């Protein structure tokens, strides 16, 4: 299955579901369920929670950002014991790129 096919499966559009002969009531139920699943899987890490190996960060962000129509730049700040201090989006794409300015990180 292509990545485009996986995106459609992860967050099906109403026309896609109607083409698959899904009733209008079921379409709303499926869309709500897929949105709840996406929000639950990619929930923000709790402040103070340990997020150590890079695979944890990758899994978290992949679940959170997959299927979004726009690129985003996120930062997760950790303390010396790998506990989450901050989880924030700093920029969203403008048309061809994501601009991240150093003023976001100046102390």
- Whether 57 has a pLDDT exceeding 70, the answer reads yes
Give the pLDDT confidence score for residue 53 in this predicted structure.
Answer: 81
Q: Are residues 95 and 49 located together in one domain of the fold?
A: yes
Whether 51 contacts 78, CB under 8 Å: yes
- 53 and 15 assigned to the same domain: no
Residues 37 and 58 in one domain: no
Residue pair 84/77 in contact (Cβ under 8 Å)? The answer is yes
Q: Is there a single domain that holds both residue 95 and residue 73?
A: yes
CA-CA distance, 77 to 74, in Å (whole number)?
10
pTM for this structure? Answer: 0.54
pLDDT 10s digits, 19-51: 777 788 888 888 788 777 766 666 667 788 888
Work out how many domains the chain is built from and give that number. 2
Claim to verify: residue 97 and residue 56 sit in the same structural domain:
yes
Tell me, yes or no, whether 29 and 77 share the same domain: no
Q: Would you call 21 helix, strand, or coil by DSSP?
A: coil
Q: Are residues 51 and 30 in the same domain?
A: no
Share of the chain residues as helix, strand and coil, in percent rounded to the nearest 5: 45, 15, 40
Full residue range of the structural domain in which residue 22 is found: 1-41
């Amino acid at each position: 299955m292509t990545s485009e096919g996986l995106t459609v499966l992860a967050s099906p559009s109403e026309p896609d579901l109607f083409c698959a002969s899904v009733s209008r009531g079921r379409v709303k139920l499926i869309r709500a369920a897929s949105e709840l699943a996406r929000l639950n899987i990619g929930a923000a890490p709790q402040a103070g929670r340990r997020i150590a190996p890079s695979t944890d960060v990758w899994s978290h962000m992949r679940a959170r950002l997959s299927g979004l129509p726009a690129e985003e730049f996120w930062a997760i700040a950790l303390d010396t014991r790998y506990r989450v201090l901050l989880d924030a989006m700093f920029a969203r794409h403008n048309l061809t790129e994501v601009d991240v300015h150093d003023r976001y990180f100046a102390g």
